[in-house]
Amino acid sequence: MPADEPGTIMVFAPVPQLTVTVEQQSGEPELHVHPGGQGVWQARMCAGLGASVTLCAAVGGEIGEIIALLLQSEQIEVRTVRRSSGSGWYVHDRRDGSRDEVAQHAGEALGRHTLDEIYNVTLAAGMRTRVSILSGPAAPGVISSDVYRRLAADLGANGATVVADLSGDHLTAVLDGGVDFLKVSHEELMDAGRATGDSVEELVDAARDLRKQGAGSVLISRAGEPGIALIDDEEPLLVELPTLQVVDHRGAGDSMTAGVATVLARGGKPHEAVRTGAAAGALNVTRHGLGTGRSEAIAELTKRVRLTPIHG
């Protein structure tokens, strides 16, 4: 893959999970087994939007072997590092229409040797692509937050556009390293004490603080409410999404991040990236599959996303 080729994206998904879901649409239960986790869902949506995607991940144990095998069926290039400890997984029951957690394991923490290997693999892949997405683990203790600081700094210093979708200490770390585009939910900002409340004014203040701390542009998702975008030094924008019936809200934020990254990888402007991200997130809630959605539907929804200046 030529360096910095338009439309190329690297996704850092250090600890993907095996997802097992039981559903029942008719008379018989159905079992669905897929590779998952934030980075996998983001990579899937980027690929669905036409990007050329490289996913960097560490897998281990029997679960890791299954994850690696299933990733081969995704429309992405996969660079895996074998780890000595086991990969994570979860089992969800959706037979009654809701998502009930049966059991879950985030995976063991990555050891030093694995961290060294996945860092090198990720850095090399990121320097060959136009945009790098830094995605988070299922649990914060699985990987050191300093890895994100170093990756953001090293990738940015070598010409990559860095997009991040993180929370907690991992968010703080990537801000220290420098990030071109940050997507974060308002719940994560409030949980971390970065926002004093959930009003538009309070979240705009939080977005401005994030820019001061190292983010180029910021997109705040707000569940079913319009998002908030702060692009460079421009005035903040209210991101009004099309109204659609919700099947499963999970994965909307990851699809939003993927939409943003795909447009930036093609050389598109941040405003276009925000519109596409909002449309991808809106469409994802209409589906059971996480990180999925037909590109033509996203293109139509993008035309219906409104960016309204927030005055005051």
Digit-coded pLDDT (tens) for 114-170: 999 999 999 999 999 999 999 999 999 999 999 999 999 999 999 999 999 999 999
pLDDT of residue 312: 60
CA distance 277 to 81: 30
CA distance 197 to 188: 11
pLDDT of residue 245: 53
pLDDT of residue 2: 42
Residues in the chain with pLDDT < 70? 1-4, 244-251, 284-294, 312
pLDDT of residue 225: 84
pLDDT of residue 34: 94
pLDDT of residue 224: 75
Q: Whole-model pTM?
A: 0.92
pLDDT of residue 293: 55
Go through the domains of the chain in sequence order and give each one's CATH number: 7-309 (3.40.1190.20)
